[in-house]
Amino acid sequence: MKNLIKVEDLSYSIPFGKEILKDVSFELNEGEIIGILGRNGAGKTTLIDLLLGIRPTTKGSIKILGENPIKEDRIGSTSICFISQDVSLNSSLGVGKFLDFYAGFYPQYSRSEEKCLLELFTVNREDQIASLSTGQQKKVQIIAALAANPKILLIDEITAVLDPETRNQFFTQLSKEKTTKGLSIVLATNIAEDLTSRADKVLFIDNGVGRIEQPDQILNLFNLKKSA
Amino acid sequence: MKNIKHILLHYFEWSRTVYLITIALILISAYAINYFPIASEFKPILIYCNLIVALAFHFITRFQPVQGQAPNGFSLKFFQGIPLKKDEIILSVVACSLLSTIPIILCTLLFSEYVNRTFHLNLNALKISINASFILLLLSMVTTKSIIEFPRKEDERKNPFRPFIKILRQSSVSMFAILISLLLFLIVDDYFHWNLAKELLSFLESLPKYLTSWWSTLFFVLFFLYHFFEVHRLWTNEILTYKKQYWNAKKEYALLAISGLGTLFFFMLIDLSTPEIYIGTVQKAVYESKYDLLKNISPEKINTTNYYGVTPMMVAVGHGDLKMIQYLESKGANYEGKIVNEQKLNGMDNIMLAIRRRDLSVLKYISTKTNNLTRLNQELGFYPIHYATGTCQSDVVDYLVEQNVDVNVLNKDGETPLMVSARANCWSVAVVLKEAGAKFDAKDMLGKTALEKIKNPKSKKELVYFFQKNSRVPASK
């Protein structure tokens, strides 16, 4: 299988601040889902930022589609899509206008898939973004990202705001994209149950140190008795 | 470039309707102000409304990545998630920002004449607009770049210059708000007649002049700060990480120094603030009240004229700077000269400029030095009394009457000052002229008397009422 992401001995410190990640290593192959799990403030979003090239690494290396993400003139950047809890859209736009805008950045964007996804997630192209709830706005982002036909999808804690039905539809669609198109997914989440039956492997970050765990083992990683 | 074009086209599409309505509104208002008989009290309000619409358009529709969740913008995370380079984000934001600034520039250009008249200024609206756009552009670049470079404000927490960055970010909005408030205050001032406030804040009248004369320096300081923070950002954020191997402190600081000096040199050479008709070293020094530069000036240079025929004395008179007038006089300056090659001010001499400035003290002073009060201005085709009458300055007309100026003298169209005052609906001047012996039965070349020149019958009634109420012993007696 083709290797799409390779992270080796990655460390990241806030400039003049504490060390967030220590010697994290993992690989992601085509058609795989890797879950990133950790307590609040463990560094999940920071790791996604590093994969996006928003932050420079302190030590170690990242290769995403064979390129360093910090490089400005990457060829593969149009093959990576990002969905996040922190993304907010311009509320004065309509859904259709936003999708048209988004489509312009991705040459492989498919209008027919966009139509199917709009129907699946019951979102109307004519709706104003301002009239949508937070969960519905995330659905619009999901539609845009999946219609763009990326090779890698980076997801940062988006499932928490989705209702059970939409969450189910979302994961079903991800599995479909994974099997039919070989989509690789990096899914950062706080909800361990999201990963148990869906991820191929899980990167558990604890005190900055990342280790690969099997999805069926992750429920034992949190000390639930203590917190209860 | 493709991505920037894509963003710009979409931005225009989103804001197209409001954009065109805003521009149409400004154009219609400008046309109405110039060509329809709108009451003078409503003109400032109309301009005020236009400015608010233009500013509202700019702030509501601007395309700016914002920190966190914001209702009318894409969050920075959105921009970071799509395949855009940092430079593309910055350039597209700047391009969209410029597009949304066009209505404000249009407003400045179209209403500049009125604003200049209201404030007794002679500022070049085009140059100020270009300056303002540059500043907006620069601030837009600074804010966008700093937002992009500090993803979660971690650097700022560790950055000793954080308060300055914060001020720089916020100052653009607050400075703009202060300027607009000042502008609005000065506009509405004429309407509400806040004479006391005007007296107290009279020092503000000279503020636009000083502000614009220091514009180049201000621009340079902003540019320097921008580069400073840029170097500082590299130092604090990236030198310790992946850029360590590429970092060369000497090279970076040398670049900063060279670009800083280059910018300083550029903005010192290209003066974007001084009005065009004041070009010339001596004229500019007078305009900026730089006495030290004039200290050792030779008598030959003191009366030098520029392309527009403007002498240093005319600059001082045009700005009502009596102290400078006396200083130039002591250096051997005379009161000769007329403006040429300038459409609006062609033919203006020192007396006319003093009247235009509405500064009686300057007029009184220079009229003792020159006998132009009773001389026909060949280029303009009228006498000073016609100009004072047409601009409705009863105190100036009163003074001219005192100086035994003929109140029935004819301009090139055969009009007496009374006819001009009738045309201008200026009854306070008409009272002064009537009491000084102005002839009501005098006719112009078309055979019309002053009263016949008043088109509106209501205005004729107003004039009669005004005469009854305001008759008094002429000041000349």
Mean pLDDT of A179-195: 88
Q: Label residue A126 exposed, middle or buried (CB < 10 Å: 0-12, 13-18, 19+).
A: exposed
Q: Are A64 and A51 in contact (CB under 8 A)?
A: yes
Q: Does A57 have pLDDT greater than 50? A: yes
pLDDT at residue B378, rounded to an integer = 84
Question: Which has the closest alpha carbon to B332: B357, B362, B296?
Answer: B296
A225 contact partners, CB below 8 Å, separation of at least 6 = none
**DSSP states along B401-456:** HHTT--TT---TTS--HHHHHHHTT-HHHHHHHHHTT--SS---TTS--TGGG---
Q: Does A170 have pLDDT greater than 70? A: yes
Strands (E), A39-150: 59-64, 80-84
For chain B, what percent of residues have pLDDT higher than 70? 58
d(CA A119, CA A170): 13
| Beta-ladder partners of A28 | A5
pLDDT at residue B228, rounded to an integer = 58
A160 contact partners, CB below 8 Å, separation of at least 6 = A85, A189, A190, A191
d(CA B447, CA B414): 10
d(CA A37, CA A215): 10
**Local confidence band at B55 (pLDDT 50, 70, 90 cut-offs):** confident
Mean pLDDT of A144-168: 89
d(CA A132, CA A123): 9
**Local confidence band at B243 (pLDDT 50, 70, 90 cut-offs):** very low
Task: Check if B80 contacts A (Cβ < 8 Å).
Answer: yes
Average pLDDT for chain B: 72
pLDDT tens sequence across B464-476 = 776 666 555 444 4
Given A70, A78, A84, which is nearest B83 (Cβ)? Answer: A78
- Please give the C-alpha separations between residue B289 and each of A47, A150, B102, B201, in angstroms, as whole numbers: 60, 65, 33, 20
pLDDT tens sequence across B9-23 = 888 888 888 888 888
Q: Label residue B432 exposed, middle or buried (CB < 10 Å: 0-12, 13-18, 19+).
A: buried
**Local confidence band at B237 (pLDDT 50, 70, 90 cut-offs):** very low
The size of the A-B interface in CB pairs under 8 A is 94
pLDDT tens sequence across A90-107 = 777 889 999 999 999 999
**Local confidence band at A74 (pLDDT 50, 70, 90 cut-offs):** confident
Q: Does B266 have pLDDT greater than 60? A: no
Q: Specify the residue for token string 């007029």.
A: B363
Which residues of chain B have a CB within 8 Å of the CB of A74?
83
pLDDT tens sequence across B405-464 = 999 999 888 899 988 888 887 878 888 888 888 888 888 888 888 877 776 666 667 777
Sheet holding A184-189, edge to edge: A59-64, A3-13, A19-29, A209-213, A201-206, A33-38, A184-189, A152-156, A80-84
ipTM surpasses cut 0.90? no
Q: Are A83 and A161 in contact (CB under 8 A)?
A: no
For B231-257, b where at least 16 C-beta lie within 10 A, e where not — what string? ebbbbbbbeebbeeeeeeeeebeeeee
Q: Which of A44, A85, A86, A142 to mutate to test the interface with B (most CBs of B within 10 A)?
A: A86
Residue type, A105: F
Which residues of chain B have a CB within 8 Å of the CB of A72?
85-87
- Please give the C-alpha separations between residue B39 and each of B24, B84, B393, in angstroms, as whole numbers: 22, 53, 18
Structure tokens at B93: 């934001």
d(CA B112, CA B135): 19
- Closest-CA distance, A191 to chain B, in angstroms, reads 22
**Local confidence band at B29 (pLDDT 50, 70, 90 cut-offs):** confident
Q: Does B325 have pLDDT greater than 50? A: yes
With an 8 Å Cβ cutoff, are A88 and B87 in contact?
A: no
Mean pLDDT of A10-19: 77
Q: Does A41 have pLDDT greater than 90? A: no
Q: Specify the residue for token string 């604003």.
A: B115
Both ends of chain A: CA-CA distance in Å?
A: 43
pLDDT tens sequence across B153-167 = 444 444 545 555 555
pLDDT at residue B60, rounded to an integer = 72
With an 8 Å Cβ cutoff, are B158 and A15 in contact?
A: yes
Which residues of chain B have a CB within 8 Å of the CB of A154?
81
In this structure, how many other beta carbons lie within 10 angstroms of the beta carbon of residue A79?
19
Residue of A nearest to B77 (CA): A87
Q: Which of B75, B76, B77 to mutate to test the interface with A (most CBs of A within 10 A)?
A: B77
**Local confidence band at B357 (pLDDT 50, 70, 90 cut-offs):** confident
Residue of B nearest to A100 (CA): B10
pLDDT at residue B53, rounded to an integer = 83
pLDDT tens sequence across B171-225 = 444 455 555 555 554 444 444 434 444 544 555 555 655 555 555 556 656 665 6
Residue type, A48: I
For A93-116, b where at least 16 C-beta lie within 10 A, e where not — what string? bbbebbbbbbbbbbeebeeeebee
In this structure, how many other beta carbons lie within 10 angstroms of the beta carbon of residue B296?
7
d(CA B157, CA B146): 13
